[in-house]
């Protein structure tokens, strides 16, 4: 099973709202990722957690706040977003160590900020 699940599938929020995106995997992977993807562009890395610790933050604005409660779960908390933050948000996971790392993506959350 190589499944990464994400909820919700779609989200519409106002600029003053607070919302959270959720991601889950049960492959025993120890690295989890958040990406942002605009239409017709490649995924753009936001954060990486390895062994439940934040290891990469690609200078993401503080209105995006990641959280890794345990090795299977990854959240992205959203607050005071801007319309330009509208995008497909993708979660991914990989084994987290060793030479043969393979990264699997979830289906994404389509976010619209009004």
Whether 91 and 6 have beta carbons less than 8 Å apart is answered as: yes
Question: What is the binding site for another protein (CB under 8 A)?
Answer: 2, 4, 6, 31, 33, 40-45, 48, 50, 55-56, 58, 88, 90, 94, 96, 99-108, 110
CB of 27 to another protein, least distance (A): 12
**Closer CB to another protein, 46 or 113, in the complex:** 46
Least distance from C-beta 75 to another protein, angstroms?
A: 17
Contact assessment for residue 111 and residue 89, using Cβ atoms and an 8 Å cutoff: yes
Instruction: Using the minimum distance from each CB to another protein, give the nearer residue, 58 or 114.
Output: 58
> Minimal distance in Å, beta carbon 102 to another protein?
5
């Amino acid at each position: 099973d190589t499944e990464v699940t994400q909820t919700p599938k779609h989200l519409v929020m106002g600029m003053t709202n607070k919302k959270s995106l959720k991601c889950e995997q049960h492959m025993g992977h120890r690295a989890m990722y958040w990406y942002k993807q605009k239409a017709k562009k490649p995924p753009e890395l936001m954060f990486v957690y390895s062994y439940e610790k934040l290891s990469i933050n690609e200078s993401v604005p503080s209105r995006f706040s990641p959280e890794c409660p345990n090795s299977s779960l990854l959240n992205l908390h959203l607050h005071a977003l801007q319309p330009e933050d509208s995008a497909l948000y993708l979660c991914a996971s990989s084994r987290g160590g060793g030479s043969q790392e393979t990264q699997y993506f979830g289906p994404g959350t389509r976010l619209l900020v009004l």
